[in-house]
Amino acid sequence: MNPLLIYRIVCKDLKSELRGKETINFMFLFSFISLLMFNFAADPFSPALTEVGPGLLWFVFIFTGMLGLSRAFIKEKETGTLEGLLLAPVSTEDILYAKTFYNLLLMLGIQLIAFPLFIVLFNYNIAGSALDAFIVLALGNIAFVVVGSFMSALVMNAKSRELVLQIIVLPLLLPVIILTIISLRKVMIAGVNLLSIGEVKLIVFYVAIMAVLASILFEYIVEE
């Protein structure tokens, strides 16, 4: 692992993403609009909202993530620049770390905007601590990004691979998705303290396993 190289790749990604300086605005607008959409699903002040609120909130991130993350590798693949990276003496893990880190930056950026917005817009009353809820979301996002980045590298070459591989991508994410929802509901509806939620530990555990697996297996993904 070479932090300097990782930093340089992340900078490059940020730079080419931010070329239209508007991207941050885009992200803001986007999370704003998709949050607003949910208003129409239920009467905004009905108790049903308290019920489904955490789920909807988390869904916005999954959806945003799906949109954004898959691009990180696929774009480099399609424009052929991934080979440029692979030609340079950067270890394949570092490429994975850089992409994961970049994705994480994006997701946390969106979270920083969308989470307060959600609370204000829906006048949502979090039963537990707002910080706890934020941390749970962030954990979910980390898990999502770690697995998602790795898997998006996997599907990159999907054409020549077996169909089965693609079908693994989303289901692999399923545990995190569900664990996060459960934890989020415990914090936001039942007001449970973060540290006493078993699911949170499971998420951390899951991230750890996935991260280790990903760094071991990544080199098999990029080789052809």
Partner 1 sequence: MKFERKHAQVFLGTLWIVVLAAMYKVLFGLGPLKEELLRYPGDPMRNGYKIFFFSMEAAAVTYIAFTVVLLGSAFYLKTKDMKWDRIASSSARLGLVFTTILLINGAIFSNLAWGAYWNWDPRQTSSLFLWFTLAAYLTLRGAVDGVETRARLSAVLGIFGFVGVPLTHISTTIWLSNHPALYDTAQSTGFSLDRSGLILFMTLMTSFLALYIYLLWLTVKIDSLEEGSQKVFSGEL
Partner 2 sequence: MIRVEELSKRFNNFTALDGINLHIKSGESFALLGPNGAGKTTLIRILSTLLKPTSGRALLNNIDVTVEPEDAKRQIGVVSHNPYLYDELTALENLEFYAGLYESNPDIPELLKLVNLDSRAHDPVGNFSRGMKQRLSIARAILHDPKILLLDEPTSGLDHKSRNNFYTLVDRLKSRGKTILLTTHYLEEAAGLCENGVILKKGVVTSSVDLKAPQPVLEKIFEDMGR
Of residues 88, 131, 168, 208, which one binds partner 1 by CB under 8 A? 168
Contact between residue 145 and residue 69 where contact means Cβ atoms under 8 Å apart: yes
CB atoms within 10 A of CB 150: 23
Cα separation of 142 and 148, whole Å?
9
Query: Contact region for its own copies (CB under 8 A) — 113-121, 124-132, 137-145, 157-165?
Result: 157-165
| CA pseudo-torsion sign 51, 52, 57, 59 | positive
Cα separation of 176 and 143, whole Å?
7
C-beta of 161 vs 201, nearer to its own copies: 161
Indicate whether 193 belongs to the interface with its own copies (CB under 8 A): no
Span 81-110, contacts to its own copies by CB under 8 A: none
The alpha carbon of residue 75 and the mean position of all alpha carbons in its chain are separated, in whole angstroms, by: 17
Which of its own copies, partner 1, partner 2, none sits in contact with 45, Cβ below 5 to 8 A by type? partner 1
Q: What are phi and psi of 41, to 5 degrees?
A: -70, -35
Indicate whether 210 belongs to the interface with partner 1 (CB under 8 A): yes
Cα separation of 121 and 109, whole Å?
19
Indicate whether 12 belongs to the interface with its own copies (CB under 8 A): no
Q: Which residues bind its own copies (CB under 8 A)?
A: 17, 19-23, 25-27, 29-30, 32-34, 36-38, 40-43, 46-48, 51-52, 54-56, 58-59, 62-63, 66-68, 71, 78-79, 155, 158-160, 162-164, 166-167, 169-171, 173-174, 177-178, 181-182, 185
